[in-house]
Amino acid sequence: MQALSPIIWHAVESGKIVTALQTDEQAGLSSSEVSERQKQHGPNELPEDKHKPLWRVFASQFASPLIYILFVAAVISFAMGHASDAVVILIVVLINALIGAVQEGRAEHSMMALRKLSALKVRIVRDGKESVIEARELVPGDILLLGAGDQVGADARLLEAAALEATEAELTGESLPVVKSTELVPDDAGLGDRRNMIYSGTHLTAGRGRAVVVATGLQTEVGKIASMTTSAEQPKTPLEVRLKQFGNWLVVASIVLFVLLLGFGLMRGIPFVTIFMVSISQMVSMVPEGLPVAMTIALAVGMQRMARRGAIVRRLAAVETLGSTSIICSDKTGTLTKNEMTVTRLILPDGRQVEATGAGYSPEGRLHASGQDLSAKDDAALRSLLEAITLCNDANLVAPEGEETRWRPLGDPTEAALLTVAHKGSVEPGTLLQHWPRHAEIPFDSAEKMMATQHGHGGRHRILFKGAPEKLLTLCDPATLDLDQVQQTAEELATQALRVLAVAEIHDVPLDVEAGFEPWRGRLSFLGLLGQMDPPREEVKAAVAECLEAGIRPVMVTGDHKATGLAIATELGIARPGDIAVDSAELEAMSEGELRGSLDRISVFARVHPAQKLRIVKAFQSQKQVVAMTGDGVNDAPALAAADVGVAMGITGTEVAKGAAKIVITDDNFATIVKAIEEGRLVYQNLKKVVLFLFATSIDEVAILLLALLCGYPLPLAAVQILWINIVTEGAVTVNLIMEGLEGDEMRRQPTPKNEQLITGAMLQRLVLMVSTAVVAVFGFFLWRQASGAPFALVQTETFTLVAVTQWFNVLNCRSALKSSISFDILRNRWLVGGLILGNALHILVIYNASMNRIFHTVPIPLADVALLGLIGSSVLWIEEIRKWRARRRLDQGAGSA
Ligand code: ATP
């Protein structure tokens, strides 16, 4: 390819650009040329945000008040001649930083993987064939096919533009859409005025078009603005904020306890350094340093699990909000149904009802009426209808290739199905399109629910219209149809769960694209109706039942007819007996109060205008519901952004919708949203397990120390031992509680209230039980051992070990609120098993290694005592097992009597 730099893309005829870029406007580049150019230009991407180097991740672990306190403590103990304590503190700080860095690395790693999943896809033509590729593979000379809602993948010059509009706020700051056209622009025009260009990173908001890529990667306009590449930080999620508040509260509590311990200790005559170190260690152990990391990992792991199940999270907050979702407003087509359209019925203007046989997009099948086969060749009315739906159509059918056995739709399935039925009636699109090329069009949009195309041949014009019957029939000349009759037939088709389209035409008048549909009112000739079947997805019925059990109400929000929607909603179990469907006109007529009053009974919103979706979301939110709303189009963006969880469709969704949504589901399937909710609930549950564990373990140590001081005993734990337990023993397991898998009953509970306290009443009861058992066991043991006359160093080491053992059993307790920890399959959480093994190994080292003994003031424990410690420590497990057993029994009895 020759050097292209001197060309000013917006000021040169498109034909010249196509030649200069050595491409073909219709067929695009050849595959061999593409690989050549990819080598030359590199991938079409901007350099990624710099990866935080490992040493910085590690260094950042030291930037916390907890660590500052520890450093101060180390300095003080060193100054007072306790060098070994100072060393321990430093070791502990180091281990803490290591654990923190590894965890953060893990979180970062999963985030990166997820970012890759949401790669931008674009529609192009290469080797004469349409296909969808990742935008990073684009090269100059590629031919782009553009539609409303697309994000532009590279800088390109327009070759065709039909009512095409783009928002370029990202580049020009102008937030209103600009109309695009193919006309030449003066060469000194600014970015915002180059109407015949589209730029990477901007969005198309309306229309359709075709363009040739002129710049990729760093050569694009956005590539030139380096600052745009740094991605925005994710804001803190509500739960993160609550956790932070909880953490702050604990810090205050720990300072109070610090003062108390120090005061009591000094009053009891304990040397200042000893009591000061113990109090500091205790204060440090109260600070839940594991919590923020646990939170990040919980969200990251939740995101990963969701991605594996088909839901890609774009905003972290969605992970937790999903768990509280109580209403899912779902699109119908493609989400609840398969979006595999088959035209099964055609109604001709003379009232004849034509049946179409065959299924899927394969053009095999026949058309028949009253037992007689029909063909466009010898039936003029049928021919006009089939020709109209073939011409007024942007889709394509792809014949099976290679391994494939089925015909595939390319473009809108609703339109592809029209091509299939036209084939069945012997209308062949290729020759027809050659004969009647398209000259102008008003593209389909889901607000108008209609489209029109103008075709010309030998000085004659044909304007063809198709769209929703209520809309299109009002444009028809009453003389060409029996309006009541046709409307009634359309209604009947809809009641049979069919999607209905009306078709009309007018000859030899030009189409004024700007004027829209209004000028045609009462002027068109009616050509017929079509009924399309779109079977529900198989897995949706079960997913709907699961939602209902989980206290979540699914609601259908469809662009389709009320009767079609209600028929399908009833079949799927979304509409219960007595429920109603409301269409856009009825919705419009309702006051806010009326709408809110009827929300409980409305299970289908039909013919919904995208702007009304926002009203529906707000109405549900005003009833304190947490709303998930699906969407795919440009106009859905405000509703997606306003919903608690905006869900965009991965396949049919526009980039604009994806940008506004909090999650994207890769298979457009309703069942996937339900799976994501299940994972969201798990994340929240696991976090609560961590909070419970951290809280329980901090309180029992404080209680033991305070008890010993109040009762006049020596301190049961040395300062370094307290630090070790809190940072090493706990650090090795806490975060791994987050990795707990599904317990299986997540979807049998009600959604978590939006602002639920972190520590609920039920958790508090468990906490009291766990703490009191541990305190009785440990303090009781300490008293008994003291009385037995054993050397104090051994008593302290054994008490220290017992505290560690009770924590290991407690972590098992925290894995489930109901299920037994003994039968529950712990091997499923390999992270936790690994953490427990690591904790045990380190503890053995501290007890049996001579140098460690010196540093940690420990002595080796006789093996017989180890067994005893294990037995006593396990009491926390047995007591909690009894509580769980009783709780399960109560639940069963409750279920039995219900
Ligand atoms: P849902 O919201 O349930 O997914 P939808 O998004 O498929 O429904 P729209 O695409 O807005 O809803 O379609 C609404 C109506 O517009 C259809 O019932 C049909 O009558 C008409 N329609 C759909 N597609 C086309 C098209 N390509 N050309 C003309 N009319 C169409």
User: 450 alpha carbon to ligand 1 midpoint, in Å?
Assistant: 8
> What contacts 578, CB < 8 A, 6 or more positions away?
601
Which residue, judged by its Cα, is nearest atom 30 of ligand 1?
A: 467
Tokens found for residue 46? 């901007």
For residues 430-436, average pLDDT: 88
- Reported as a single tens digit per residue, the pLDDT across 830-854 is 888 898 999 899 999 999 999 888 8
Question: Quick one: which atom of ligand 1 is closest to the CA of 412?
Answer: 27
- Reported as a single tens digit per residue, the pLDDT across 787-829 is 998 999 999 999 999 999 999 999 999 988 888 888 667 778 8
Which of 385, 486, 558, 616 has the most ligand 1 atoms within 8 A of CB, as the residue to mutate?
A: 558
Is residue 517 pLDDT above 50, yes or no?
yes
Res 106: pLDDT: 66
Which of 330, 331, 333, 464 has the most ligand 1 atoms within 8 A of CB, as the residue to mutate?
A: 333
List, in sequence order, every beta strand (DSSP E) within 371-493.
372-374, 396-398, 408-410, 438-445, 450-457, 460-467
48 phi/psi in degrees, rounded to 5:
-65, 160
Which residue, judged by its Cα, is nearest atom 17 of ligand 1?
A: 560
Quick one: CA torsion of 859, 865, 870, 876, rounded to 10 degrees? -90
Q: Lowest-pLDDT range, 99-103, 108-112, 514-518?
A: 108-112
Catalytic residues: 331
Which residue, judged by its Cα, is nearest atom 5 of ligand 1?
A: 559
Res 229: pLDDT: 37
**Rounded alpha-carbon distances, angstroms, from residue 670 to 335, 384, 484, 562, 640:** 5, 38, 36, 20, 16
DSSP 685-705: HHHHHHHHHHHHHHHHHHHHH
User: 850 alpha carbon to ligand 1 midpoint, in Å?
Assistant: 77
Tokens found for residue 75? 């300095």
Which of 394, 396, 449 has the most ligand 1 atoms within 8 A of CB, as the residue to mutate?
A: 449
Res 285: pLDDT: 73
pLDDT band at 233 (very low <50, low <70, confident <90, very high): very low
Q: How far apart are CA 838 and CA 858, in angstroms?
A: 19
Please tell me the pTM assigned to this model.
0.76
Which residue, judged by its Cα, is nearest atom 1 of ligand 1?
A: 558
Res 235: pLDDT: 53
User: 444 alpha carbon to ligand 1 midpoint, in Å?
Assistant: 9
Res 837: pLDDT: 92
User: 501 alpha carbon to ligand 1 midpoint, in Å?
Assistant: 9
Res 289: pLDDT: 65
Question: 197 forms bridges with which residues in the sheet?
Answer: 157
Half-sphere exposure of residue 471: CA atoms within 13 angstroms, side-chain side: 26
pLDDT band at 399 (very low <50, low <70, confident <90, very high): confident
Is residue 766 pLDDT above 70, yes or no?
yes
Is residue 70 pLDDT above 90, yes or no?
no
Res 2: pLDDT: 45
* Most confident of the ranges 48-52, 361-365, 457-461: 361-365
User: 559 alpha carbon to ligand 1 midpoint, in Å?
Assistant: 6
Q: How far apart are CA 449 and CA 403, in angstroms?
A: 37
Which residue, judged by its Cα, is nearest atom 2 of ligand 1?
A: 558
For residues 295-318, average pLDDT: 82
Res 230: pLDDT: 39
748 phi/psi in degrees, rounded to 5:
-110, 5
CB 130 within 8 A of CB 143: no
- Reported as a single tens digit per residue, the pLDDT across 690-707 is 888 988 888 888 888 888
Res 514: pLDDT: 84
Mean pLDDT rounded to a whole number for the chain: 86
Which residue, judged by its Cα, is nearest atom 27 of ligand 1?
A: 415
User: 449 alpha carbon to ligand 1 midpoint, in Å?
Assistant: 6
Question: 583 forms bridges with which residues in the sheet?
Answer: 606
User: 560 alpha carbon to ligand 1 midpoint, in Å?
Assistant: 6
Is residue 69 pLDDT above 80, yes or no?
no
Half-sphere exposure of residue 24: CA atoms within 13 angstroms, side-chain side: 13
Question: Quick one: which atom of ligand 1 is closest to the CA of 449?
Answer: 16
Res 828: pLDDT: 81
- Reported as a single tens digit per residue, the pLDDT across 165-197 is 988 876 776 767 889 999 988 888 888 889 999
pLDDT band at 500 (very low <50, low <70, confident <90, very high): very high
For residues 870-892, average pLDDT: 92
Residue 242 amino acid letter = R
Considering the chain, what percentage of its residues have pLDDT values greater than 90? 42
Which residue, judged by its Cα, is nearest atom 20 of ligand 1?
A: 468
User: 62 alpha carbon to ligand 1 midpoint, in Å?
Assistant: 57
Question: Quick one: which atom of ligand 1 is closest to the CA of 608?
Answer: 2
Which residue, judged by its Cα, is nearest atom 31 of ligand 1?
A: 467
Is residue 641 pLDDT above 70, yes or no?
yes
DSSP 561-597: -HHHHHHHHHHHTSSPTT-EEEEHHHHHHS-HHHHHH
Res 769: pLDDT: 93
Is residue 286 pLDDT above 90, yes or no?
no
Which residue, judged by its Cα, is nearest atom 29 of ligand 1?
A: 467
User: 585 alpha carbon to ligand 1 midpoint, in Å?
Assistant: 17
Question: Quick one: which atom of ligand 1 is closest to the CA of 335?
Answer: 4
Domains of the chain, earliest start first: 9-41+139-215 (2.70.150.10), 319-337+538-674 (3.40.50.1000), 343-533 (3.40.1110.10)
User: 455 alpha carbon to ligand 1 midpoint, in Å?
Assistant: 23
Top-confidence residue, 882 or 101: 882
Q: How far apart are CA 509 and CA 472, in angstroms?
A: 18
Res 225: pLDDT: 65
Res 1: pLDDT: 47
Rounded to a whole number of angstroms, the distance between the first and last alpha carbons of the chain is: 77
For residues 866-883, average pLDDT: 94
Which residue, judged by its Cα, is nearest atom 24 of ligand 1?
A: 414
Question: Quick one: which atom of ligand 1 is closest to the CA of 469?
Answer: 20
Pocket around ligand 1 at a 6 A CB cut-off: 331-333, 412, 414-415, 444, 446, 449-451, 466-468, 499-501, 558-561
Question: Quick one: which atom of ligand 1 is closest to the CA of 415?
Answer: 27
Res 852: pLDDT: 86
* Sign (positive or negative) of CA dihedral 658, 661, 666, 671: negative
List, in sequence order, the alpha helices (H) in 603-669.
610-622, 637-642, 655-660
For residues 245-258, average pLDDT: 81
Is residue 582 pLDDT above 70, yes or no?
yes
Question: Quick one: which atom of ligand 1 is closest to the CA of 471?
Answer: 20
Considering the chain, what percentage of its residues have pLDDT values greater than 70? 93
For residues 588-594, average pLDDT: 93
- Reported as a single tens digit per residue, the pLDDT across 309-330 is 888 887 777 888 888 899 999 9
| Best CA proximity match to 604, nearest among 553, 552, 565, 567 | 565
